[in-house]
Structure formats: C-alpha cells, structure tokens
Amino acid sequence: MPMAASDIKSMILDAFPDADIEIIDLAGDGDHYKAIVKSNGFVGMNRVKQHQAVYAALKGKMGGELHALALETGLKS
C-alpha cells in the first residue's frame, strides 16, 4: 500500500521540527516521491549524513510502504 505524502512530511517534521518540506509525487502513483527538506538541524552534516538522517526519520518505511524517495536536502536560508 502506498504511503501518503502527508505521512512522509509528518515523519520528517517529527525529526526536524524547523524543516521546510516540499513533497512531490513524481509519477502520480503515490509510490515515487521527491522530498525537498531544508532544516538547520542539518548543521555540521554532509549531504550523505543529511540523507541518512531523513531516511532514519522514516523509521524503516523506505523499501516497504515507500518505494522510492529522491532527496534534496540543505540548510534553511
């Protein structure tokens, strides 16, 4: 069963309450998303660590309920 964009956003916000998040359904199927996450919680993290932190926030949903998630991360301006 696909994961709702609102659920993805909610889980990321739980881990990064200050985040600005945009979720884009890439294929219109509720299974392939892109998340743009900007948070000052990423201070001191390289891109790989930022992505790992976002995937950790999804608590094992990647590869199961959430088939594909392209990430763009960075610090808030």
pLDDT at 37: 98
Which domains does the chain carry? Answer: 5-74 (3.30.300.90)
Q: What is the pTM of this model?
A: 0.92
Q: What distance in Å separates the CA atoms of residue 1 and residue 39, rounded to the nearest whole number?
A: 29
Cβ neighbours of residue 11 under 8 Å, at least 6 residues apart? Answer: 57, 58, 59, 61
Is 23 a residue whose pLDDT tops 90? yes
pLDDT at 30: 84
